[in-house]
Chains A and B, each alone.
Chain A
Amino acid sequence: MAKKNTIRFGDYVQAMAVDTQRVPFQELMPEPLFDRHGREHPQPVPKMKLGGGDVVKVLQPYLSTRFIDQARAVVPLALYLALFQYIVLKTPVIDASIVAGGLFAVMVGLMMFMEGLKLGLMPFGEVIGNTLPRKLPLPGVLFIAFLLGIGVTFAEPAIGALQVAGSLVDPEQAPYLFTLLNDRSGTTVLLVGLGVGLAAVLGTVRFLRGWSLKPLIFMSLTPTLVLSIIALNNPDLTTIVGLAWDCGAVTTGPVTVPLVLALGIGVASAAGKGADSSLSGFGIVTLASVFPILGVLCLSFYTAYTVPTEEIIARAAEIKLAAQMAASQPAWFEVTPWTEITLGVRAIVPLVIFLAIILFVVLREKMKNAFITNYGIVLAVVGMCIFNIGLTYGLAKLGDQSGGLIAGAFTSIDAITESPLYSASVGIGIAGLFAWVLGFGSTLAEPALNALGMTVQNLTNGAFKKSMLMGAVAFGVAVGIMLGVLKLIFDFHIMYILIPGYSLGLILTLFSTEEFVNVGWDSAGVTTGPVTVPLVLAMGLGFGNALGSVEGFGILSAASICPIVAVLTLGLYVQFKVKREERRLAKELAQEGELA
């Protein structure tokens, strides 16, 4: 019973569309081959021949979506810094074209690196995570998790930012900080890696045994805080504390988190423990950001007791001399871009070799889709090299510049002739606001936070909304960065922020439920991605230099504790609200019962 006075649209189209071509599907099928017994003969998949236009059509969406992902994180931040510098500080960006080129390199590098990570490194992690527990006893698995923790630390893109930041430290004023970041930077990263490895082991055991995160947090943070306080009172080491706490924020980046998690979850699911808890992914990130702090603190104590200050200063002068020599006649591997390329290769290749040895020698597994995996690995290495170049010329340069200039808002600096631009209180207010907005914006742009928000929303059945969590974390980071900047202005020690912050965090932890403890403590590590870390580090150091303070570290660590406190507080509030609602419902039900 069709509607009256209508013709079917299909019939209409058939009649109107004269240029519809009909091609039998047979044309797309390969010709079957039979041997003389009539059995079908195997034949390879026919290769498709594409013209230039089609190649562009295939590549364009592939490249553009991935590039836009990175541009969304980098461009608003860079624009914000540049416009702020131009409008509020009345200074144009110095070397604007170099910085722009560097930022472009950061975006391209990150795009390639993330794709390479997904195609080349993650399959290794997944295969190893799934098969390792079946083929090796638990101690063996844990040992490999430990080694993996060290390997991923070296491959973390933000770790390069520490070395770049280290070149800005003055060896006279902070000798131990200088040596840990320059001639001993390899040892520092190794200690950070040991911390991450230990966290991977503990986190995996936690998955298996179903331990609560709370005692682990207390047990790992207490010695860290105590050691920090001892270091704080030691005149040689007091400058190190900020760096140590920043290392914790640096480690939990886009390489460490997924690879270590893949292994941990694989182990847990092989033991039949993975699926029952949606929380199984959490916790490792928290531990991986606390143990490196402990590691760096221990290293600094060891260095302080074995190496005298004079030796470091002499060594620093040597390095400087060598650098001058190198500048006049640099070896080929000491010039851009070769330095960055060696750094990039050194970061990824050992990790790949390590993963390959485990996969092919220990597990005797084969890699499916070897071509795609190889492509991914090449992409990761190339991306890391380009990212390193961009780090030096884009992020570090821009952050250092803005940090140095922002001081001109309230004090006189050489770079701005009419500085101070504003009266002291207004200027400090502007600097604080600048830091706050920077933290808030860069955190909301972090893709990992979005994912965390989704998980939390599902976990709490919607009681803790995604937007609420993102807001809380971004607010926390913003306040943290602002506090870090104020620390530099008023020149007090970072521990005066960290000790009350972490104490508050620990107290809130006591009262929170397991879910919120996991989410809250992990949120800190998640927020500090490969764009935020170098930018904030460089900004802090530039700012510190402009103000003449000894070291600009500590901003990142302040940005780590504040979101923890924010999320835990909000979590307690949500818990309270849910309980109140439950009580109200119970009351209503009781009343209805009475009425009936």
Chain B
Amino acid sequence: MKRSFTTLTEATLITAVVQSGYGEIITDALLEVGIQGSTIHAAMGVGIRERLGALGVAVDAEREVVTVMVSSDEVDRIFERIFLAAKLDVPGMGFMYATPLLQAATYVPPSILSKYVG
């Protein structure tokens, strides 16, 4: 039997490093527009407290890293959505970036697969 393997292309990974507690706010904002499959990692951040001086006490050193894979077509829209949901325009809140993915793979529903297998 011939082995068949499907890879997904045109995928982009968005990573947002935010203050502890905001991870779920982001994933909720994503779920609202039907984007699932985000991951929240717990992390510790270093540096922002030193930069902010006395105000640094208001910044939680515990961070959450949210990663979510989205289609390259939709990156800008979702990037903006996360930026607003996590209030990243506030100093010390965190940062985010998008990286293109070479290839990705997961379960692909047969209905979609049949359009491409031909």
Contacts and interface: CB of A to CB of B under 8 A. Distances in A.
Interface of A: 1, 8-10, 13-14, 17, 45-48, 50, 54-55, 57-59, 61-63, 65, 119, 369, 371-372, 375
A58 B59 CA distance: 8
Contact of B77 (A1, A13, A54): A13
Contacts of A372: 49, 56-57
Contacts of A65: 21
B85 interface: no
A57 B92 CA distance: 10
A50 B77 contact: no
| B contact patch SS | helix
Nearest to B51: A48
A528 B106 CA distance: 49
Given A50-B91, A58-B92, A65-B21, A10 B53 contact: no
A58 B52 contact: yes
B116 interface: yes
Contacts of A62: 58-59
Interface string B57-85: 11100000000000011111100000000
Contacts of B58: 58-59, 62-63
B102 interface: no
B90 A1 contact: no
Sort chain B's interface into a size bin: 20 to 34
A45 B51 CA distance: 6
Contacts of B51: 45-48
B76 A9 contact: yes
Nearest to B76: A13
B28 to A, nearest CB: 16
A58 B90 contact: yes
B57 A119 contact: yes
A10 B73 CA distance: 5
Contacts, number: 59
Contacts of A58: 52, 55, 58-59, 90-92
A154 to B, nearest CB: 26
Contacts of B59: 58, 62
B50 interface: yes
Contacts of B53: 47-48
Contacts of B77: 9, 13
Contacts of B34: none
B57 A57 contact: no
11 contacts: A1-B116, A8-B72, A13-B76, A17-B76, A55-B55, A58-B52, A58-B59, A58-B92, A59-B58, A62-B59, A372-B49
A14 B91 CA distance: 26
B76 to A, nearest CB: 4
| A contact patch SS | helix
Nearest to A9: B73
B75 A10 contact: yes
Nearest to A13: B76
Contacts of B52: 47-48, 50, 58
B116 to A, nearest CB: 7
A14 B76 CA distance: 9
B90 A57 contact: yes
A14 B73 CA distance: 11
Nearest to B71: A9
Greatest chain A CB density within 10 A among B21, B58, B73, B74 is at B73
Greatest chain B CB density within 10 A among A1, A10, A55, A371 is at A10
A17 B77 CA distance: 11
A1 B74 CA distance: 16
Nearest to A54: B91
A70 to B, nearest CB: 17
A241 to B, nearest CB: 45
A454 to B, nearest CB: 15
Greatest chain B CB density within 10 A among A14, A48, A375 is at A48
B98 to A, nearest CB: 11
B47 interface: yes
B21 A57 contact: no
B73 to A, nearest CB: 5
A54 B50 contact: no
A54 B73 contact: no
Contact of B76 (A10, A45, A48): A10
A10 B90 contact: no
Given A9-B73, A47-B51, A58-B59, 13 more contacts: A1-B116, A9-B76, A9-B77, A13-B76, A45-B51, A48-B51, A48-B52, A54-B90, A57-B91, A61-B87, A119-B57, A371-B56, A372-B56
A372 B55 CA distance: 10
Nearest to A46: B51
A48 B21 CA distance: 24
